[in-house]
Amino acid sequence: MGEAAKTVIFEIERQNSTDESSYWEKFELPYRANMNVISALMEIRRNPVNMDGKKTTPVNWDMNCLEEVCGACSMVINGKARQSCTALVDQLEQPIRLQPMRTFPVVRDLIVDRSRMFDSLKKVKAWVPIDGTHDLGEGPRMPERKRQWAYELSKCMTCGVCLEACPNVNDKSDFIGAAPLSQVRLMNAHPTGAMNRDERLNAIMGEGGLADCGNSQNCVESCPKGIPLTTSIAALNRDVSIQMFRNFFGSDQSFFVSAENTQAWLKQMSFAPVFAILTK
């Protein structure tokens, strides 16, 4: 530590835009105590000169909270996906290699577009519907012990690390990955959310859903929030195993298996005006 000229070397995989090919660029920075990857990137931005002494464009990256709760600064550091804000230089092997999470389309340098995760959350209906044409009142209460348990699942920040680490999430497959699946377990655990339980279970039985998991369990090893993702997946596996039989043999808990059924039901129950509004 006492050496005056101590430096840190970074190798960064850069890319100017989504369609352009990538290239590597090296940077050597003066070492400062307790520096993390973000502070190093800030140093490069302040003085964008690469190791060859040439002036270059500043490296682009995404960040927001700087305390590992937003997920924005996720990138591949020395081969592993993680948040750059909590990646301390002292704990990393040098040269430190930074790469974008290529599971997602690269916007520029280390910035990726994680929209697909939000699309997946929409696909699996990862919300609790409470809107009605009138005040629906309070929902059932959630037991405190269950709330504490569910809180662990709610820590997901949609950072995309579990998708990047998963061998089955790639351009050859539609697999939505662990994060949105675990959200289905969270929403189904909610007493009001449970009212639409079968809709979510049927959604994850669709294309790119739960069945595409290959149990490599990289997600649970990589999750920065320590969410029991593989337990969520196995729990959902049990739920859909039962749902599958409910769908086939018929059950009061498998009615809303598709939008078509819902619409047919609305028609049948002579909710014609509502139906007209819904399908407008």
Contact residues: other proteins, CB under 8 A: 79-80, 165, 167-168, 170, 172-173, 202, 205-212, 214-218, 221-222, 228, 230-231, 233-241, 244, 247, 257-258
Nearest distance from residue 218's CB to other proteins, in Å?
A: 5
Looking at beta carbons only, is 62 or 164 nearer to other proteins?
164
Q: What is the spatial distance between Cα 16 and Cα 24, in angstroms, rounded to a whole number?
A: 12
Looking at beta carbons only, is 67 or 248 nearer to other proteins?
248
Nearest distance from residue 14's CB to other proteins, in Å?
A: 20
Looking at beta carbons only, is 195 or 205 nearer to other proteins?
205
Looking at beta carbons only, is 15 or 222 nearer to other proteins?
222
Nearest distance from residue 121's CB to other proteins, in Å?
A: 18
Looking at beta carbons only, is 69 or 234 nearer to other proteins?
234
Nearest distance from residue 265's CB to other proteins, in Å?
A: 14
Nearest distance from residue 93's CB to other proteins, in Å?
A: 13
